Amino acid sequence: MSHQKQFRVVGILAAAFVLVLAFHSTASAAVPCESLMGLKLTDTTITLAQSVEAGKFAPAAAGGRGGGGNAFADLPAFCRVAATIKPSSDSDIKVEVWMPATGWNGKFQGVGNGAWSGSIATNDLAAGIRKGYATASTDTGHEGGSASFALGHPEKLIDFAYRAVHEMTVKGKAITTAFYDNSAPKFSYFVGCSAGGKQAIKETQMFPADYDGVVAGSPGVNWSGRALQTIWVGQAVAQAPIPQAKFAAVNAAAVAACDAIDGVKDGVIENPRVCKFDPQVLLCKAEDNNSCLTAPQVETARKIYANVSNSRTKQSLVAGLSPGSELGWTTMAGAQPFGAGVDLFKYVVFGDANWDFKTLNWDTDLDKTLKASKEMDALDPNLKPFFDRGGKIISYHGWTDPQISPGSTVDYYQTVLDKMGGASKVQENYRLFMVPGMNHCQGGTGTDQFDKLTALENWVEKKQAPASITASHSTAGKVDKTRPLCPYPQSASYKGTGDTNDAANFVCK
């Protein structure tokens, strides 16, 4: 054989070998899905190991939250594993792990829950496998959306607070490794918003080895503070309610006072913390109507904006809602107090399902509340173990969130800066993006759509720290505005020329 032919044969063989390696690393699972029924894991029983054909997932069989059947018609073939984990005698943690049958990206993703949610997040599992992730979700150890499970069940409360997510992560990675023929995930990420955002931060605090990076959206890190704010606002509303029909007028006045501070009048308040808005400007001059507030209603509005504070020590417990959030005030300032906040007092603090929110005593009940909520709060500012491993946090929060105070996320971030030695010691591991005009996790007048996960992947895997993240706003499915999201405390500043709906005409300052 000539040297030329030898080189050609060697080249063909080498190319074939590369293709085999690539196929093995990203394409096919090496063990049958159903064989995972025999997998032995500590405190764990595998209850389902089922191959699901492409487009054949039936959401009704999942027992968790999901959309209609058509929402899952585009899913690839995957291996669906369900398990029950019992780390304590009173634990009953359900988890599901979905793993692409082919095209696995070599990564693991944990997804979060909302409020007191006790269900598997099928929509989020589906989103994960669409991107090629082996994805895991947990019901946090109970069923339903109330905290009633916690009454008389301290171990279940611990499961909800942090243990279920950690167990899901450890067991989920083990299941993933077994399915892909002893190939462990190269990278692991957690993505959550609201309670899921709190779960993300809690993981970095308590189990720094679980994930390489987390996305923590609208994180309820101050779980006790949000509950106290529920009662703070609820008691004010009980004394002087503001009819929902007036919320639009309050919002219009706040936007009028604060919108143009950033140099662009676009109906969005860029940074409410530099906005000085007093609802006194809406005081009725004559008869009461939907465009003005009575004197008692002005005081209620002021209470909603004000920090919740300890009446004895004057210490701030949680930041108030921001100017611009008024269109969503039904959540906190509606006819009844926010249920997720009231639940903490009924089932955790006082152990009384009939507890009346009007009876909270701001002098005597605060210490009891903070003590009872300690496991659920995620306020520990010491993230050194997570940072030392190279862990990354992308956190975000909408400034007009009416459910979890955006200021509480800013305040937690500041405690991390204070603890860890300032921005220079934190910014290479933790960046916070405040989103003007965005409501709770999404929605609102601001640019609420952006790819958090890709930004996190690039940071962890390619060392590309996010100097900004481009976000968009859509109306009727069509993008009508883009804007850069900037690492706090920076905000987007208009360059002075060009379309103000184009992110290219803004810079982070």
Q: Which residue has 């039936």 as its token pair?
A: 58
DSSP reduced 3-state for 481? strand
Q: Which two tokens stand for residue 437?
A: 């005009």
At 274, which amino acid appears?
V
Looking at the chain, the number of H-run helices and the number of E-run strands are 15, 15
Residue 65 CA to residue 361 CA, distance in Å, equals 37
Which one from 194, 373, 395, 468 is the annotated catalytic residue?
194
Which one from 401, 448, 473, 491 is the annotated catalytic residue?
401
Q: Which residue has 């279940």 as its token pair?
A: 156
Query: Is 137 part of the annotated catalytic residue set?
Result: no
Residue 64 CA to residue 77 CA, distance in Å, equals 19
Residue 390 CA to residue 222 CA, distance in Å, equals 25
Q: Which residue has 């921001």 as its token pair?
A: 322
Which one from 153, 397, 440, 473 is the annotated catalytic residue?
440
Sign of the dihedral defined by the CA atoms of residues 257, 254, 216, 60, in that order:
negative
Q: Which two tokens stand for residue 137?
A: 């979700």
Distances in Å between the alpha carbon of 208 and those of 133, 198, 223?
21, 14, 21
**Burial letters for 44-81: b for 16+ Cβ neighbours within 10 Å, e otherwise?**
bebeebeebeeeebebeebebbbeeeeebeebbbbbbb
Beta-strand relationship, 44-52 and 107-111: unpaired
Query: Is 194 part of the annotated catalytic residue set?
Result: yes
DSSP 319: P
Question: Which residues does 171 contact at the CB level (< 8 Å), separation at least 6?
Answer: 41, 44, 83, 85, 95
| DSSP code string of 417-458 | HHHHTSHHHHTTTEEEEEETTB-SSS-BSS--B--HHHHHHH
Residue 206 CA to residue 213 CA, distance in Å, equals 14
DSSP reduced 3-state for 475? strand
- Count the neighbouring beta carbons within 10 Å of the beta carbon of residue 454: 12
Q: Which two tokens stand for residue 211?
A: 């994930």
Q: Which residue has 């692991």 as its token pair?
A: 188
At 360, which amino acid appears?
L
Does residue 489 have a cis peptide bond before it, meaning omega lies within 30 degrees of 0?
A: yes
Query: Is 405 part of the annotated catalytic residue set?
Result: no
At 421, which amino acid appears?
G
Is residue 203 a contact partner of residue 166, using CB atoms and an 8 Å limit? yes
Catalytic sites, residue numbers: 194, 401, 440
